[in-house]
Amino acid sequence: MRTLPHTLLARIAFRSFFLQSSWNYRGMMSMGFLYSISPGIDRLHSPGPAREAAYLRHLEYFNTNPYFASVVMGVTLALEERLSRGEIGEEVIHDTKEGLMTACAAIGDGLFWDSWRPFVAVVALVFAFGNYLLTPLIFLGLYNLPHLYFRFAGIFWGYREGTHVIRSLRQFQFPQIRQSLRYGTMAMLAYLIPNHVNVHTPFLLTNLPLEYFYFGEKVVQGFGALLLVALGTVAYRARVDVLLISFLLMVCALVLYHWGILI
């Protein structure tokens, strides 16, 4: 028997937009988590020691992926409801929340930070390099579709299914989605490299007949860019800092420009 209305759950999902406002080194997202679910806690526990204990319970360390936090919130509220009826003990809430936040962090970080964000960024870059002025809207629209879906649907799943929610999440086949996104990112990257790294040299202009000039220019740009990216990748994988690589590139480019090799 569930007692929390849908409007209240939607309100909690909305509050989860502010989950990390008070991110700190002790409880991390704990204050944000408690702030988000507090309307539910207030509904489930009457004023007094039970409500105070619930507040203190959720000021413990909490950290997960912000887009999947609402799933944990839904499950937590379902368990708080059972606690208020005396069906379970406090330790069940503690253990479940801890396990679930780790699982959601792994799923969410892998999906959103490691796969979806780079993929959407590369799609946006393809349009941005083509000077499409609506690129930011494409990025925002595409990125936020799954974000808003998981944020709002998550709390309902969590509350409805309780600890069985992991089974529902499994139906999304996240590893397959991530693999697919990685290959998509790779293909667009392969398109961007030869077309949008500007490697130009004056030698072609002086040494190639005009009818071959444009083709020669394209080949030099493509292979020059590939070489540059290969060197950058080797340096990055050797754990050289990105800013140091950028600085070295800048110095090399200025020297080559000064010698008349690059224009």
Partner 1 sequence: MPEHLTASLLIALIGGIVDLDSTATWQFMISQPIVAAPLTGLFLGNLYGEAAAGLKLGLMVGVILQLLWIEQLPLGMNVPPDAALASVLSVALGFISGHSYETYSEREVCYTVALLLAVALGLLGRSLDMFVRRLNTSIDTWVCQKVEDNSLWAIAVGHTLGGVFTFTKAFVFCFLVVWLGVEPLRYFTQTLSFKHGSGFIVVQGLLPAIGFSVLASMVLKTRDEMRLFVGAVIAFTLLPAKIGLGLGAAAVLMYKYRGAGAKK
Choice between 47 and 209, CB closer to partner 1: 47
Q: In terms of DSSP H, where are the helices of the chain?
A: 6-15, 30-44, 49-57, 69-84, 90-108, 117-129, 135-161, 165-170, 174-196, 203-207, 210-237, 242-258
Q: How far apart, in whole angstroms, are the C-alpha atoms of residue 124 and residue 140?
A: 9
Q: Does 167 bind partner 1 (CB under 8 A)?
A: no
- Binding part of the chain for partner 1, among 75-83, 160-168, 183-191, 202-210 by CB under 8 A, reads 183-191
* Residue 10 engages partner 1 in binding (rule: CB under 8 A): no
CB 116 within 8 A of CB 149: no
Q: Cβ contacts of residue 80 below 8 Å, gap of 6+?
A: 40, 41, 44, 45, 54, 93
Q: Which of 176, 206 has the CB closer to partner 1?
A: 176
Instruction: Number of residues interacting with partner 1: please give it, by CB under 8 A.
Output: 103
Q: Which two tokens stand for residue 52?
A: 């105070």
Beta bridge partners of 24: 28
Tell me if 90 contacts partner 1 by CB under 8 A: no
Residue list 41-80, contact with partner 1 (CB under 8 A): 51-52, 55-56, 59, 63, 66-67
DSSP string covering 144-195: HHHHHHHHHHHHHHHHHHGGGHHHHHHTT-HHHHHHHHHHHHHHHHHHHHHH
**Comparison of 45 and 162: residue with beta carbon closer to partner 1:** 45
Least distance from partner 1 to the Cβ atom of residue 17, Å: 5
> Closer to partner 1 at the Cβ: 183 or 206?
183
Minimum CB–partner distance for residue 1 and partner 1 (Å): 27
How far is residue 20's CA from residue 18's CA, in Å, rounded to a whole number? 6
Considering only residues 124 through 163, tell me which ones interact with partner 1, judged by CB under 8 A.
124-131, 133, 135-136, 139-140, 143-144, 147
Binders of partner 1 among 208-247, rule CB under 8 A? Answer: 218-219, 221-223, 225-226, 228-233, 235-237, 242-243, 245-246
Quote the distance between the C-alpha of residue 225 and its chain's center.
28
Residue 39 makes contact with partner 1 by CB under 8 A: no
Residue whose CB is less far from partner 1, 187 or 205: 187
Q: Does 118 bind partner 1 (CB under 8 A)?
A: yes
| 3 sits near partner 1 (criterion: CB under 8 A) | no
Interaction of residue 196 with partner 1, rule CB under 8 A: yes
The yes or no reply on residue 180 touching partner 1 (CB under 8 A) is yes
- The residues with which 200 forms a beta bridge, in sequence order, are none
Instruction: Give yes or no for residue 249 binding partner 1 (CB under 8 A).
Output: yes
Determine which residue in the list 106, 188, 204, 208 makes contact with partner 1, applying CB under 8 A: 188
| Whether 163 contacts 96, CB under 8 Å | yes
